[in-house]
A and B are shown apart, each in its own frame.
Chain A
Amino acid sequence: MKIFSNTSQQLLEQSLNAASLRQKTISQNIANVDTPNYKAKKTVFKHQLNRAIDDQRLTAYRTDSRHIPFGGTQSISPSVVVDRTKTMFNHNGNNVDIEHEMSEMAKNQIYYNAMIERLNGRFNSLKTVIGGGK
């Protein structure tokens, strides 16, 4: 039984990193709300999180550093920033939808806080165990 490097805790860490990156992306979009020809960016991480869970079931060894890592190892970048291109454009080529960005930000805040709560919950459980239930 691994105390600090078990799957759920690593997933929590990765989701916190991703939520932090998403916050930066949303900041960038809102900062460029008036910039001509700016294309809104989006942080994608949920499906990669699912893939990471799937990968845990699979173990593989790399015999060469040039091989693509899969299974076992943690992916280095669990979230990616992509341009959002298939949305409506303003007259100046900017496609930042401020309502969408603000609601995404609200969602991201709640998500981030929930992850922190969960992480704290885990640490509290560990504390209880270490203290022998006292």
Chain B
Amino acid sequence: MTIFHGFNTTASALTAQRLRMDVISSNMANVDTTRGRFVNGEWEPYRRKMVVVQPNENRFSSHLSKAMGRTDHPGNGVKVSRIVGDQTPFKLVYQPDHPDANDEGYVQLPNVDPLKEMVDMMSATRSYEANVTTLNATKNMLMKALEIGKG
């Protein structure tokens, strides 16, 4: 555990929240994309993506300290384990003049709900801000430690 351990923890969270924000941007940008993926000779609309995060315990230092029975290891931050597609059904809208409409005149639209994305965006922003505050606090502590003995 180095002196910059706290920084690394917070930095991993900032990266994860930034990636969440990127995924949300992608969802919002593709809210009307009817040709997201080409499956079996047919276009499938864009599928909403979600970020799955998990604590970053898969590091050697984590396992070592656990094996040694040490109780003073806080952990290594957070990591994005994968990005999954939302399996909720696509929206069906009656639009007979749309080039991707089926024989009955219905178009499949992405399962992106802008309201949900906005809520997720607020959550990611706030988490990011909280982590920036933490980073500044840790920085101030280290700067203060440099003043020991300067008197």
A interface residues with partner B (beta carbon < 8 Å):
16, 19-21, 23-28, 30-36, 38, 41, 43, 77, 79-82, 98, 102, 105, 109, 112-113, 116, 119-120, 123-124, 127
In the complex, which residue of chain B has the Cβ closest to the Cβ of A77? B72
Instruction: Note all chain A residues with C-beta closer than 8 A to B133.
Output: 102, 105
> Count the A-B residue pairs with Cβ separation under 8 angstroms: how many?
106
Neighbouring B residues of A81 by C-beta, 8 Å: 71-74
Q: Would B10 and A21 count as touching, CB distance under 8 A?
A: no
Chain B interface residues (CB < 8 Å from chain A): 1, 5-6, 9-10, 12-13, 16-17, 20, 53-55, 70-78, 123, 127, 130-131, 133-134, 137-138, 140-141, 144-145, 147-151
The 4 tightest CB contacts between A and B, nearest first, are A31-B13, A80-B71, A25-B74, A27-B9
B12 proximity list for chain A (CB < 8 A)? 31
Q: Are A38 and B55 in contact (CB under 8 A)?
A: yes
**B9 near A31: Cβ-Cβ < 8 Å:** yes
**Of the candidates A30, A35, A80, A123, which one forms a contact with B134 in the assembled complex, judged by CB atoms under 8 Å apart?**
A30
- Bound CA span A40–B138, Å: 19
Q: Does A112 contact B78, Cβ atoms closer than 8 Å?
A: no
Of the candidates B6, B54, B149, the one whose C-beta lies within 8 Å of that of A27 is B6
Q: With A28-B9, A113-B144 in contact, is A77–B71 under 8 Å at CB?
A: yes
Shortest distance from the beta carbon of A4 to any chain B beta carbon, whole Å: 12
B35 to chain A, nearest CB (A): 32
**Nearest opposing residue in chain B for A21, CB measure:** B72
